[in-house]
Amino acid sequence: MYRSMISILSQIVMLESSVPIAHAQANQPPAIHRATSSQKASVMKISIEIDGRVVTGTLDDSAAASDFASLLPLILSMKDYASTEKISDLPRRLSPQGAPAGLDPSVGDITYYAPWGNLAIFYGDAGYARGLIKLGKIDSGIELLNRSGSFDAKIDLIKSSP
């Protein structure tokens, strides 16, 4: 039974991947195209400089992520927590407006832990935590966070060229 389900799913995937992209896009309603364009316009890229090396990330389009971006640039002292994340206190609490009750973070997630009011960037796997709000995701350089001890990190928005 499982083999037949896998076979059917494989066929569906092959059929979907054989549809030309232009055809698939032409069948989408205009509202989807407008939403996609506005989402691209609001993408916020960040850099996290650690000892002269740079980690890059992308912030989500959320109230908490925008509130975090309004604090930048920041220099934070990052400490290790539970051998899975680097954490640091923020100068003020962020808005949790519209955020889910919690999050099961993945490696590379940039988060805000509302109960403590701190930034948490995950370099290891962790379980669901109530009060954890996703702010964005590390794009490259996550390996720079997987190290012992504390360090200073300068976090700033990456200015896009006009």
pLDDT band at 148 (very low <50, low <70, confident <90, very high): confident
For 27-39, how does the pLDDT look when each residue is reduced to its tens digit (9 = 90+)?
333 333 333 334 4
For 54-72, how does the pLDDT look when each residue is reduced to its tens digit (9 = 90+)?
999 999 999 999 999 999 9
What's the one-letter identity of residue 161?
S
pTM of the entire predicted model: 0.73
Query: Residue 98 to residues 10, 53, 74: CA-CA distances in angstroms?
Result: 37, 34, 24
| Matching residue, tokens 């935590």 | 129
For 150-159, how does the pLDDT look when each residue is reduced to its tens digit (9 = 90+)?
999 999 999 8
For 92-142, how does the pLDDT look when each residue is reduced to its tens digit (9 = 90+)?
999 898 999 999 999 999 999 999 999 999 999 999 999 999 999 999 999
Q: Specify the pLDDT at position 4.
A: 43
Would you state the structure tokens that stand for residue 6, as one six-digit string? 């896998």
As a 3-state breakdown, the chain gives helix, strand, coil percent values, each rounded to 5, of 30, 35, 35
Q: Which residues contact 125 (CB under 8 A, 6 or more apart)?
A: 84, 106, 107
For 72-101, how does the pLDDT look when each residue is reduced to its tens digit (9 = 90+)?
999 999 999 999 999 999 999 998 989 999
Q: Which domains does the chain have, with CATH numbers?
A: 2-39 (no CATH), 44-157 (2.40.100.20)
